[in-house]
Amino acid sequence: MKIAVTILALLLAGNTLAETPEPITAGDAFMHHYDSDKDGKISLEEFQAPAARQFEQMDADADGSISAEEATAFVEKLRSEMQETGKSQ
Ligand SMILES: [Ca+2]
């Protein structure tokens, strides 16, 4: 879910930031987010790294797989954090 949200945010940022004096494209936003070695290209490994980090966060018992219970707990945690963020703004 976070990956989908990130990609959507990048696409929306491309449109929003296009109105600034120096337009930032969706491609620029992708590079900023994914190109960790700053070589101007996104490798499969770089593209998958955020998903791997999310997998590790979701795999609470570190058994190498995500159960429905772990997925539910992760989504509930995100939902709670989003609600807390909304309250603080
Ligand atoms: Ca790269």
Cβ 67 vs Cβ 47: under 8 Å: no
Closest CA relative to residue 66, chosen from 54, 49, 77, 76:
54
Threshold 0.85, pTM exceeds: no
- 74 alpha carbon – ligand 1 mean position (Å): 29
What is the per-residue pLDDT for 10? Answer: 54
DSSP string, 30-58: HHHHH-TT-SSS--HHHHHHHHHHHHHHH
Alpha-carbon distance of 12 to 18, in angstroms, equals: 10
What is the per-residue pLDDT for 21? Answer: 76
- 47 alpha carbon – ligand 1 mean position (Å): 9
- 57 alpha carbon – ligand 1 mean position (Å): 24
- 78 alpha carbon – ligand 1 mean position (Å): 29
In this predicted model, what pLDDT tens digit does every residue of 7-63 receive, in sequence order? 555 555 555 555 557 889 999 999 999 999 999 999 999 999 999 999 999 999 999
